[in-house]
Amino acid sequence: MKNKIYSALLLVCIVIAFGAGTFGGAHLFFAIAAEAVIVGVGLWALLKLREGRVCERAEIESWHATVMNNAGLAYYRADMDGELIFVDDLCRVFGQSLMLPDGDDWQKILLPHLSERGDGSRWEKLLLSEDAFDCFESTHMVHGGHSVFFAHTMQLLFDSDGQVSGIAGTVCDISSQKKVERELLKKSSLLDAVMNYSEDSVFIQDFEGNLVKVNNVFCSYAGAVKPEECIGANIRDYLSPQVVAKVMQDIGEVVTTGRDSNFIMPAVDSLGNKLRFDVRHCLYRNCDGEPESIIGFARALPEKDGSLDFEMRNADFALLETISHELRTPLAGIIGSLRVLEGTDLSAEAKGYVDKCILSAERFNDVVSNYLHELSGNFDPDDKEFISPASVMENIVELFKPAALQQERCISCAADENLPDKILCSKRGVSQALFCLMNIGMSVFPEQGITLGARVCERDADKFILDFYLTSDSKMTQDQNECMFTDCFKRSAGRIDAAIYSESGEQTEFGFKFEAPSAQAVDSKVDSTEQSLTVLLAEDDISSQVLMRKKLEGWGHAVRTASTGLEVLGCIKEQEYDLVLMDIHMPEMNGYEAIRSIREYESGGAQVPIVVMSAYVNDRFREEIKELGITDFVSKPIRTEEFKKTLDQHFKKDS
């Protein structure tokens, strides 16, 4: 405001002086006196105006310095000769903290670049840069022998004519950041040393298979020069699609259960050598207890005879798993379309055909989802659960019935009356062995009827010997008897410690026997107060569906699966369920729509409990879900202990 007043006063003086000189000819003395007074006042106003502008500039620079100081930045300004025009207090504090006992000027220590000239100097780089900006760091030793680190910025200043008039710069103490960087680098170096000390291949990956860190052994197998070249790559870059599918399924199980896993994996190194690895996956949780990554160890196994058969066996089971997955998706679309067609205006005869199609498709869907998947992939023989031997046999026979009908022959099941309802064993191991046994029977006796059976051979207080056998009315030839047992069947039986046998008389019989603990010898982990439930599991991801079904059936619950919202509605209309486990993101009809449709179908009657499964749990999600009338929800990835706790909370019987 003062600058405006001084400017106006100066302008008035100029106008009056001009008028006095023009019209004061008649009174020369008066004119000269007036001119002198006016010029004096004008000069005084001009000095005040300049002084005001200098003060205003100082205030602006002081304000800038205050803002930067609050951000931890020291501010200074210099002319083209490197002389400081303005420097704030923080800049002086930084400089004086570096002064040595010999009393050197702090400016030469903190800002030596201001006096540098010539090729390669900061001035030259700044003048030649396109954006007239430069940044760099400096290190200084202070009393006590420790280092102080500063980050510098320099910016060219221009006058009104566009000519360079000086520079403005900032200084920031980054010693604390450098200390953190050194600590992180030290920890990273220690981790590298530990990983590279191992003779095994060690790697860290996220849940999508992206590599975060690897050691030198992994690097050599991958054909990389240094481990950094593998960072960010995916296991799909190194393994076949079938093996990748197995690895990703195992990662999903580790994340879901929280337990370490161990499996055998075939692979090919960068030189084309076929290898086998004993792989172990461990789950790493962050400081909040949340799953964050997978730590893996892979040890190359020595070569042995039959390695090609081993890979072929893995390929066969991987193919079964791929078929199971690929059939599941179109089947879901077929069933959903048939459900829509069922609701249209059709004749009674057409509706009958549609109903038959739906029943057939759902039966085939259950076979694919529940039985075929049990035959695929590697398994841990020590991972045991309670299974029904009669049900496992029936499932296997169901797989071969279409071929038997086409060949116009009979296949059947026979269960001994003393056969226990449940046995503790490896479900996938027994299923694979029975599948191979049935496949042998279909091949050796292409035209005769066959029977798959099970019986108890020996029993005592602690264990019993279970015999799974296959019989036919035809006698085997000597050639058939010698080449009957395939390597695949031998290995499948061997993994569950089963002994294979064959007997030939009036009837041909062959199979395998293995030992299982009796019910009295098993320390049951199932709480007597738990309730057996009929569960409808709605999940479109086949891996998650299989894992969840395995958990629920292991706890003694009966499970039916659905992959779309339309399938869920069809299942609800067919029978009653004790519980519906609902995924939110499904094709054709999502979980929200399916829940609304279920509640509308119930129309005020008894409501089936619904537990929602989703990875996106926030406050808004909770409110939307509660409005739909759900019982509870669990977060993905699902942790076994939390999921079990949720079921017990709502469905446990009173003690």
Contact (Cβ atoms closer than 8 angstroms) between residue 651 and residue 578: yes
Mean pLDDT in consecutive groups of 10 residues from the start of the chain, 655 residues:
57 58 53 61 61 61 60 81 83 76 67 76 77 84 79 87 86 87 83 82 91 89 84 86 83 87 80 82 88 90 52 49 60 77 84 79 62 55 76 81 74 85 82 85 79 86 84 68 68 84 80 79 47 84 75 82 86 88 81 85 84 73 76 76 78 54
H-run or E-run covering 197: helix 175-197
The DSSP output letter for 303 is P
User: For residue 382, what are its two tokens?
Assistant: 């020590």
The residues that bridge with 633 in the sheet, in sequence order, are 612
User: pLDDT at position 349, please?
Assistant: 85
| Separation between Cα atoms, residue 190 and residue 382, nearest integer Å | 36
Cα 375-381-382 angle, rounded to 5 deg: 140
| Separation between Cα atoms, residue 134 and residue 153, nearest integer Å | 6
- As a whole number of Å, the CA-based R_g of the chain is 42
Helix (H, G, I), strand (E, B) or coil at 535: strand
User: pLDDT at position 9, please?
Assistant: 57
Contact (Cβ atoms closer than 8 angstroms) between residue 465 and residue 514: yes
Best CA proximity match to 283, nearest among 647, 646, 637, 642:
637
| Separation between Cα atoms, residue 112 and residue 124, nearest integer Å | 14
* DSSP strand pairing (73-78 vs 84-87): antiparallel
User: pLDDT at position 204, please?
Assistant: 92
Contact (Cβ atoms closer than 8 angstroms) between residue 230 and residue 215: no
- Please compute, for residue 11, the number of CA atoms within 13 A of its CA located in the half-sphere on the CB side: 6
Helix (H, G, I), strand (E, B) or coil at 9: helix
Best CA proximity match to 515, nearest among 547, 542, 493, 490:
493
**DSSP string covering 69-99:** HHTTEEEEEE-TTS-EEEE-HHHHHHHHHT-
User: pLDDT at position 211, please?
Assistant: 92
Residue type, 35: E
User: pLDDT at position 512, please?
Assistant: 92
User: pLDDT at position 655, please?
Assistant: 37
| Separation between Cα atoms, residue 602 and residue 99, nearest integer Å | 83
User: pLDDT at position 73, please?
Assistant: 82
